[in-house]
Structure 1
């Protein structure tokens, strides 16, 4: 009888679905983390109109939206990447949705209860080279971060590939970027209903998602945020001009046997995706033309609102003015082996000295190419002989020139907190990458920081350890602290010093068994050299 009495006295919300109001009607979500986190998955933030056109505002209905499972991702061709990064389902018309994770206290409200405290909010933009993207990935589950840091965490889908970045007089500019803007505008529109503190927003992204945020910072109308975190932006790869993007679109029309955009619009979506994926780099230099304007065939292109390359625009910016919404707190960095994935995926055989020299000479010139071979030769553990595979050096060059050193240049010029993620995790890499990227087993590859930032090792069934778990908790706390603080928060015994014109010092993230978290000045002399070459030029 006592058990029954206690059962009846339990609050009713323990046995009902979490509910939030919104501008499109009532949202009925689901519980996660044993009822401590409310998840609203697949919430429509925009309504598909036509292919290559900006989306429309979502429809406001009086009915409830059951948002208990992830929606399909936008159409894409996802190949040769870890399974967890690829969506299970895609849809052109129903993909513009977001996923909202909030503490249970944000929805445990009755008409007589006091208003919930406003939640600091973290909004994530996933990467994928503008070719693929799935906010439903286990990596990006917001529940562990909500549970650990009591923040709202939001992710969303956007259009990629030809569907997101076609160009021409008969299409809208940078549709994929506009999807991102509409998602964040929708979040702000519903901030009061969701108890979100709009003064404590952190926008963070990885790879292409971070590059999208960098493009916003460099634009004439940056998305407002208290802080922006840029993980592994490929700064050294230029955005296309609109003319170049239009030429890429014309090549897609030819590949689809079309003579007009209207013909592309009428193609079945699976055919359209295959056509877009077939467009490669312009006249690739065997085995890879890194310096091509179209190193990423589909990507944002320069427009009047995005007048310059982000690395150039941000490097010219004045130092951050504290409290200014147009100059948010900036955190940016890279992984120790960010370039490895890209070189190995593009170059499938060994490179000898003559090939490496020719490759680098095409990107820069013969004099610089010769200097680079000399500069990077001493960095390699194995002897440089006639049989030496110069991909080993190119991987480091790409890491430094495309990722780490331009990030340092931006941080020094604009003001920001620079980091390097340097945690080897062989067991985790094997579980996550499988056989697709075996070269990442003993490296710190592109994207390997993500389960540490989100705390999703368990969600993705990745092996862990006490020291790795501790590193993840620290990174989750540091990333979350940016929503309200003007300085990323570490443990009490260590301060993260910002970069400045006089120093390019960075914070190294690694667990205690690998040397721990510490300030350093990674790649100082190498970055000094790359600074003389310049970024975002080739």
Structure 2
């Protein structure tokens, strides 16, 4: 077996499986500033009173039976009406929060707008029905996925605490938390039941927003450099920007404070968060950020590599790379097919880690100027913004065991390590081999992925940022759910703290992820939400002054800021959470000195 035989498997297998189970701004923001990339196209949206709106393009691939599992069981009552700058809408009243589902933040990127920056949303007439989720963005679906997908997918969901009075301006606008989902930039949805924002909004007393954005070739195809005659990529990131701008313009009518927006995301969502921290055009759109399980050392493609992938895509689709008309005429399913086949080829054999993320953002020199790890080391990001960095304790398990479904011998392990790390392989093997005596070397390989891809570069970025004066906190999630059952065959997650293991605790979506939180685990979930909610209020995540009354009663453990003066203490999020130095600091010192991030 060759390492490149697995190129079709995304690094974020776990995100895909989760998808399948269930600063004050004074100037007026507009679509031209700061987003100079916006398309000026328009699509008319006319919404009759009381009608359900679904602007999905005819012929888009879909699978029926898509819905929040938990929403299906929730009582539905006529919700409040609000007036945004684009029109009126009616939401949904639930037992926890008000919900506004499927709000368009840009016009549908269909037809001639397929590979264009997002266009400002067209105002509608009548009352928009925001009581049900819209389709997820186009993606392939395997196994038991049951979700409708469409090219018309630029929507967001808003969750609002029940004490917000929509009949008058809020006396004290609430903090806003914007979730960017993961999924390797090829899968996932804001309306995945795993990311039900009701519990976070209710518990933290914040306005929670979840955002859809274009995925795969639809969001990241590069066929040239001229935006008038080619796909120039990074549309998925521009979609996120457009959503953040819509939030700035409209969130006040939902009781939210546009001057206090926190963006947070896990995995590919964390990569997105890091890019917005680097992009100057995103600077006025949020105040602080949470970066969960960021794969810092998975490289973004450069322009040449992105264009090579685009040529492979066009070849598979029987189009010329220079024939944008041919590409635009492809059916959505044809795009997905070409995306999958083209993505199975290795773009750069010297960058084997690229196999873990075929489609996604690339360094275009304008929007994205460098690798995230480089930007954080050099200080080329919005250093004035507070950031939480964190990982799980066993990030690499799901990837290694997902790719290598059989035991890996020591000889094979040496081959793979050498193929990826080349001249550094001997030092790495000397560091790790003495610690692992099992015949199956997947345990060691999992630890290398955890250390090299996630933990140590996150620590490096946090330390460099802290030394430049940034307010940084670090955590490690280190708890295996006591009632965790087998997740679609990933039995090896039964005894490990896998990539994404904190997400069901953050969203209280344990049943969706196939386990039930014990009373002790409920307290852990509550502590996590206390930290995230307090941070969203612009404070130290464990500041008692900024905490809700419930959090003050719970008295979560103090989370010290990550600095050398605090002995580089991080928060260990487990049943008995505590601040500590990382038990793998010596390993991260090794990687830092190796200098290959």
Same fold (TM over 0.5): yes
Q: Contact (CA 8 Å) 1:226, 1:484: kept in 2 or not?
A: no
Which residue does 1:489 correspond to in 2? 542
Please state if 1:358 is matched with 2:415. Answer: yes
Please state if 1:509 is matched with 2:569. Answer: no
CA 1:311/1:352 → structure 2, altered by over 3 Å: closer, same or farther?
same
Structure 1 counterpart SS, 2:483? helix
Structure 1 counterpart SS, 2:99? strand
Give 1:338's match in structure 2, choosing from 370, 373, 395. Answer: 395
CA 1:477/1:264 → structure 2, altered by over 3 Å: closer, same or farther?
same
Which residue does 1:500 correspond to in 2? 563
Alignment of 1:5-404 (within 5 A): 16-32=78-94, 34=95, 36-49=96-109, 50-79=113-142, 86=145, 88-93=147-152, 95-106=153-164, 108-110=165-167, 115-169=170-224, 170-223=230-283, 224-259=285-320, 260-280=323-343, 282-283=345-346, 291-293=352-354, 295-303=356-364, 304-317=366-379, 327-366=384-423, 368-380=424-436, 383-384=437-438, 388-404=439-455
Which residue does 1:3 correspond to in 2? none
Q: Output the CA distance in 1 between the equivalents of 2:596 and 2:160.
A: 40
Aligned residues: 494
Which residue does 1:6 correspond to in 2? none
Structure 2 counterpart SS, 1:314? helix
Give 1:422's match in structure 2, choosing from 478, 483, 488. Answer: 478
Q: Output the CA distance in 2 between the equivalents of 1:91 and 1:365.
A: 42
Consecutive unaligned residues of structure 1, counting only runs of 5 or more, are 1-13
Q: Contact (CA 8 Å) 1:253, 1:261: kept in 2 or not?
A: no
Shift of 1:459: 6.0
Structure 2 counterpart SS, 1:328? coil
Which residue does 2:61 correspond to in 1? none
Structure 2 counterpart SS, 1:217? helix
Shift of 1:15: 6.4
Q: Contact (CA 8 Å) 2:80, 2:166: kept in 1 or not?
A: no
Q: Output the CA distance in 1 between the equivalents of 2:367 and 2:564.
A: 28
**Cα shift readout 1:453-502 (whole Å, capped 9, x = no counterpart):** 12223566631211100000000111111122331127647322222367
Q: Output the CA distance in 2 between the equivalents of 1:350 and 1:457.
A: 30
Q: Contact (CA 8 Å) 1:279, 1:297: kept in 2 or not?
A: no
Shift of 1:26: 1.1
Q: Output the CA distance in 2 between the equivalents of 1:43 and 1:364.
A: 46
Give the TM-score normalised by the residue count of structure 1: 0.86
Shift of 1:24: 2.0
Shift of 1:522: 3.1
**Cα shift readout 1:250-301 (whole Å, capped 9, x = no counterpart):** 111111122234322211101211211223354499xx98734454110100
Q: Output the CA distance in 2 between the equivalents of 1:404 and 1:455.
A: 25
Q: Output the CA distance in 2 between the equivalents of 1:28 and 1:449.
A: 33
Alignment RMSD: 2.4
Shift of 1:429: 4.7
Shift of 1:350: 2.5
Q: Output the CA distance in 2 between the equivalents of 1:226 and 1:152.
A: 15
Consecutive unaligned residues of structure 2, counting only runs of 5 or more, are 1-75, 225-229, 467-471, 544-553
Q: Output the CA distance in 2 between the equivalents of 1:508 and 1:289.
A: 36
CA 1:142/1:64 → structure 2, altered by over 3 Å: closer, same or farther?
same
Q: Output the CA distance in 1 between the equivalents of 2:404 and 2:351.
A: 11
Q: Output the CA distance in 1 between the equivalents of 2:297 and 2:77.
A: 52
**Cα shift readout 1:78-104 (whole Å, capped 9, x = no counterpart):** 336xx5xx56100112x1100000012
**Cα shift readout 1:400-458 (whole Å, capped 9, x = no counterpart):** 1000000000000002111110111152353xx232x1111110111110011122235
Q: Contact (CA 8 Å) 2:138, 2:150: kept in 1 or not?
A: yes
CA 1:15/1:397 → structure 2, altered by over 3 Å: closer, same or farther?
closer
Q: Contact (CA 8 Å) 1:126, 1:135: kept in 2 or not?
A: yes
CA 1:88/1:185 → structure 2, altered by over 3 Å: closer, same or farther?
same
Q: Output the CA distance in 1 between the equivalents of 2:503 and 2:556.
A: 25
Q: Output the CA distance in 2 between the equivalents of 1:209 and 1:183.
A: 14
**Cα shift readout 1:364-384 (whole Å, capped 9, x = no counterpart):** 235x3233223223444xx34
Q: Contact (CA 8 Å) 1:281, 1:289: kept in 2 or not?
A: no
Q: Contact (CA 8 Å) 1:426, 1:442: kept in 2 or not?
A: no
Shift of 1:349: 2.8
Q: Output the CA distance in 2 between the equivalents of 1:443 and 1:492.
A: 28
Q: Contact (CA 8 Å) 1:118, 1:196: kept in 2 or not?
A: yes
Shift of 1:144: 0.7
Q: Contact (CA 8 Å) 2:482, 2:518: kept in 1 or not?
A: no
Please state if 1:434 is matched with 2:493. Answer: no
Q: Output the CA distance in 1 between the equivalents of 2:317 and 2:198.
A: 42
Shift of 1:109: 4.0
Q: Contact (CA 8 Å) 1:101, 1:153: kept in 2 or not?
A: yes
Q: Output the CA distance in 1 between the equivalents of 2:383 and 2:86.
A: 29
Q: Contact (CA 8 Å) 1:481, 1:489: kept in 2 or not?
A: yes
Give the TM-score normalised by the residue count of structure 2: 0.78
Stretch of structure 1 that moved more, 452-461 or 227-236? 452-461
